[in-house]
Structure 1
Amino acid sequence: MARSDSSSYFRRSSLFWMLVVTVSLSFFTWTVFWPRDVPYSSLGPLGALAKHFVDYHYPAMYYGWFLAWVIHLSEALFALKLCSDKRIDSTSTRLLWFTQTFLFGFASLGLLIKYKPDGRPKRQ
């Protein structure tokens, strides 16, 4: 890949992982901030598990929610460093990588890690 192509390299995460992460974090947010509104009995085994965690481990869930977003932020900042290391110079492309990695975590970061700007296969 030519240098001009690598300066604006961006790949969107797969729709599958985008949906999985969005639904998971949305459900986690719902159970942490509005636990009384969750229809646990309608969710089968997932509802029973969520109800157990809300009833017996709520502080861990509350702090875990914040930890999850701190981890996503850390991954997004690491994505910016990887953009520099891989000579992705376009500001808009870096912003895309940062935003996508912040929202979808490793589902995005993995794509950036796999990218080889000079086109050579990864050494093992």
Structure 2
Amino acid sequence: MAKSDGCDYFKRTSTFWIVFVILGMGYYTWIVFAPETIPFEQLGPFGSFCRHLVDNYAGIMYKGWWASWAIHVTEAYIALRVCSNKGISDAATRFLWAVQTFLFGFASLGLLIKYDPKRPKQH
């Protein structure tokens, strides 16, 4: 196996976080933009809570939706900076980190921050 100098280090975030973030952001998008289509009464106490948020805090939830995406954009930018600081120079790898971090936020950025290029990876 060829040794890498770390310029192309990439690690995919766990399936748990991929599913969690997709479902969470998907539901958040649904509740902000099409709450009339959600069967709140079938969701039990969680549905009651969500109905309360929709009825009383729709404006805040809308702004929060935009803020959450702004945070993801910021995290993607930070990922690019961290790539530079850690010597990850391969353009395709940097793109992967930026896209993954944009989509999955700190679940991805945390992996990049933990990466220590000075220590050899253990297999």
Task: Tell me the TM-score range normalised by the shorter chain.
Answer: over 0.9
Structure 1 distance, partners of 2:27, 2:46, is 10
Measured against aligned partners, the alpha-carbon deviations of 1:60-101 in whole angstroms (never above 9, x if no partner) come to 000000000000000000000000000001100000000000
Structure 1 pair 89–3 and aligned structure 2 pair: CA distance change class (3 A): farther
Q: Cα RMSD over matched residues? A: 1.5
What are the ranges of 5 or more consecutive residues in structure 2 without an aligned counterpart? none
* CA drift at 1:11: 0.3
- Which residue identity lines up with residue 43 of structure 1 in the other structure? L
Which residue in the other structure is 2:8 paired with?
8
- SS in structure 2 opposite 1:92? helix
How high is the TM-score relative to the length of structure 2? 0.93
- SS in structure 2 opposite 1:12? coil
Which residue in the other structure is 2:55 paired with?
55
Report sequence identity in percent.
50
- Which residue identity lines up with residue 103 of structure 1 in the other structure? L
* CA drift at 1:5: 3.5
Structure 2 distance, partners of 1:98, 1:46, is 33
Deviation >4 Å, runs of 4+: none
